[in-house]
Amino acid sequence: MFKPFEKISKQNFLIMVGLQVFFILLVWQLSPIGLIPQPTHVLSALGQLLGTRLLIDNLLVSLLLTLQAMLYSILITLVFSYLSVIPFFHSVAQFIVKCRYLTLTGLIFIFTLLTKDGSQLKLSLLIFGIVPFFTTSFLAVILRIPAQEYELCQTLGYSRWESLYEVIVIGKADQVFEMVRQNFAIAWMMITMVEGLNMSEGGIGALLIKYNKYNDLPHVIALQAIIFGIGLFFDYLLGLLRHWLFPYTMAHKK
């Protein structure tokens, strides 16, 4: 377990992780810092949250908004990434990539003017936060494609549009799922921030801000644990989906 590049069995790995988690919880429980709620208090708050419909309703609102933003972001990213091999659209794709350095704080007012209600505002901010990173990842995949793949299509008599379809659209479809898996974390991390801008529709972000306002730290940490757990679940689910749709790529990766 303490040797570089050592491989251990899955069972030993799970045992190791379990012991590490137990050790962390034990240190947390015995910690002398009184401001941080102990695990028992957090578990009690977690039980209260799970026992109410309030949590489920707010989770559904947040999940629906996140999935909607991911869908639009995927469509926008794929369109401009596929067209980036055309010189006219290459500059547009590069501009989208550079937008990842823009902060949402100074742009919220502009998005507020461009949208008609709070729901569209939150959706627009999420899309703006996801698309640049998604585009950056996919353009890197396109740039790594060997020239031999394009040459093979030319040898087979494909047109340039057919080569684009075969090499990038079809050939890199599995990479799209991997990037969705990576960038979902960005969307899920941003959801609490954008929901704080308009709390009228609810959401787990609005609920988190409500508990944080009253310094209810046990419920705040319990909500953070729920957000973390849902993120891990979707990461695992997207990994399974990729393995099911593209088993050959996973086998090659192993």
pLDDT at 248: 67
- At which residue do the structure tokens 């695990």 appear? 39
254 part of a folded domain: no
Mean pLDDT of 143-171: 89
Residue with the bigger pLDDT between 33 and 246: it is: 246
- For the chain, what is the domain count? 1
Residue 9, SS3? coil
Contacts of the segment 92-95: beta carbons below 8 A, 24+ positions apart? 93/135, 93/139
Tell me the pLDDT tens digit for each residue of 229-239: 988 998 888 88
26 part of a folded domain: no
Report whether pLDDT(191) > 60. Answer: yes
120 part of a folded domain: yes
| 49, two tokens | 């949250």
Name the average pLDDT for the chain: 85
* From 25-29, 67-71, 247-251, the region with the lowest mean pLDDT: 247-251
Confidence of residue 39 (pLDDT cuts 50, 70, 90): confident
Report whether pLDDT(254) > 60. Answer: no
29 part of a folded domain: no
Residue 27, SS3? helix
185 part of a folded domain: yes
Structural domain containing residue 110: 39-247
Report whether pLDDT(133) > 80. Answer: yes
pLDDT at 72: 93
83 part of a folded domain: yes
**What CATH number is attached to the domain comprising 117?**
1.10.3720.10
98 part of a folded domain: yes
Report whether pLDDT(36) > 80. Answer: no
pTM (predicted TM-score): 0.81
187 part of a folded domain: yes
Q: In Å, how far are 7, 16, 105 from 2, measured between CA atoms? A: 10, 12, 44
- Percent pLDDT > 90 in the chain is 13
